[in-house]
Chain A
């Protein structure tokens, strides 16, 4: 970072330059064994944008997110958040893992899961207070799940579980939200609830990045896309980037011609 990017007052840094992107990844390579799942991917996410990461199954979309966040070890590359290493800005970054990644028979109620989003804020020893509880309920209300607060998480439908995961991320009150397949296997009501929450975050100037698999909804939900198939193949505003040529390159033969046709129809 050049000194010009900092606004300094009596030698003390008082603010980051506004140009620091919420998420900037350079040359990220993540590998399981000796086969890279993600190879040298760059990505820059502007503030206040809502981006979709798109690509075929097994293309490394989720791995890209996990590698950026340090959940899986990277072979090369670096990820910076708000211009800093993740460790210095963890409070500003919220992550919503895939629903299938946890055991839903875990002994926890809906409200307990949401309060896990407050652990960073509360610390290891302080007990949860009334205000924390109402914070958690507020987050559940935003995803339409407040009436289920006392329910055991195993009794929820897939869509409800996904909304609880989103509520937990909301409890973190972050500036950047990274979601891994938030719409996978959820009902219509959940999908529209999640979209309106995400759009609400965007309208507050926060940034959203989601791994997404439904090509027909990309244009209506997201203003930016990144196409990934091990490498990053395209990145930019949806209008100019989400083209049938780029999709053909990303999906290759895996995207049937009929699928492309439906898409072109959907996109007018």
Chain B
């Protein structure tokens, strides 16, 4: 109970000044991550950003050693972030260089850079941990993030940097959209594709280094990618997708940090990622356009339409129907009596189905209707494709044929 009221306090920014600033910082970080991640997702470069985030680690260790060597504290967050940004930048440029200048694919380049940089970082961290003073540095918190004991200045810095990154994403949205959708068209329009890609990954780098202290370098890819994937379920417009992804990221960051401040045992980074995942799962299941349930319902509805149509045609030909689903949809539609005989409605509908088939057949034989008959898939109603005049004309030909036969 106490935890819950603390959480509510944290959500409403009443849990103390420090907790409030941390939550706002995490929210702005999530906002920037969601926006930048949306473009990375659309450009299908998620794994590159994973390589970039793992490449931060040696920079953290080296920055610490350098700051200590210069007689400083070594724990200055700004210094550590700067160091991590430099090594992540080197990793990014190396991935780019290997992909462009050698015959290795991007996947191989990512695998190599990610593991080598991360391994080097772990070695550095282990060395630092075994020095006096290094033990208290808490550098291992950069792996999974830790907001506990974050200093006020650090939280403010994270908030400001997150806000700036979000603004940069907004500023670059048009070239990034062009490159993500159609790189050839972008290049022909004078957009430098390679530079735009590097700038996009640079935004991912910024998000990663800002998020080191909050989410940690292992989980930051989740904050970049999951909001984008979740947002894709809700819209067919890239502009809106960016906003929704930013919103999901921001909400997860803010609430995750608030949860962590209320329940001290809960780590902020993993909480933020789990909240993202919860929003993703909700989107996956319940999105009206692309969600799993909507797809299931649409599929069943379509299946029923097919079975009704085929069942009516069978009824018209007085063929026996064996398919259980066909029988049940025809009964439920009021076309068949429980005993399997056609109802009045059923007879009328079956006759109409046969008439439509005959109309389509005539329409297909007319060359000037080539375009319209392309729509015939067995389910499309002819009335929605042809004008009443055209149908009347077809019916006249049908009547003539009948007359000729009898």
Contact = CB atoms under 8 A, between A and B. Distances in A.
B237 A124 contact: no
Interface residues of A, number: 31
A71 B188 CA distance: 6
Interface string A87-98: 100100111010
Interface in B160-211: 171-172, 174-175, 177-178, 180-182, 184-185, 187-190
B190 A87 contact: yes
Q: Which range holds the interface residue count of chain B?
A: 20 to 34
Nearest to A62: B184
Interface string B100-117: 000000000000000000
B236 A119 contact: no
A114 B306 CA distance: 36
Contacts of B187: 69-71
B232 A116 contact: no
A112 B180 CA distance: 14
| Main SS class of interface, B | helix
Contact of A116 (B181, B190, B235, B371): B181
A119 B174 contact: yes
B232 A107 contact: yes
Contacts of B374: 187
Interface in B16-40: none
Contact of A66 (B172, B184, B236, B240): B184
A108 interface: yes
Interface string B235-251: 11111110000000000
Contact of B235 (A69, A101, A107, A187): A107
Given A71-B188, A120-B189, A125-B171, A106 B237 contact: no
Contacts of A103: 181
| Main SS class of interface, A | mixed
A124 B240 CA distance: 17
Contacts of B177: 116
A125 B174 CA distance: 8
Contact of B184 (A101, A106, A113, A125): A101
B13 interface: no
B370 interface: yes
A152 B371 CA distance: 22
Contact of A106 (B172, B181, B188, B190): B181
A256 interface: no
A107 B236 contact: yes
Nearest to A180: B184
Contacts, number: 72
A97 B182 contact: yes
Nearest to B239: A112
B238 A93 contact: no
Nearest to B235: A107
B124 interface: no
B236 A97 contact: no
B122 interface: no
A86 B240 CA distance: 34
A220 B177 CA distance: 38
Contact of A107 (B188, B237, B370): B237
A69 B188 contact: yes
B42 interface: yes
Nearest to B190: A90
A113 B186 CA distance: 12
A95 B190 CA distance: 11
A234 B178 CA distance: 36
Contacts of A66: 184
A116 B185 contact: yes
A202 interface: no
B184 A71 contact: yes
Contacts of A93: 188
A189 B374 CA distance: 11
Nearest to B182: A102
A1 interface: no
Nearest to B44: A103
Contacts of A152: 236
A109 interface: yes
Interface of A: 66, 69-71, 86-87, 90, 93-95, 97, 101-103, 106-109, 112-113, 116, 119-120, 124-125, 152, 168, 178, 187-189
Given A87-B190, A107-B240, 9 more contacts: A95-B185, A101-B182, A101-B184, A107-B232, A108-B181, A108-B238, A116-B178, A119-B178, A124-B174
Name the 6 nearest CB pairs between A and B, nearest first.
Answer: A95-B188, A97-B184, A71-B187, A152-B236, A90-B190, A102-B182
6 contacts: A102-B182, A106-B42, A106-B238, A107-B241, A112-B237, A187-B374
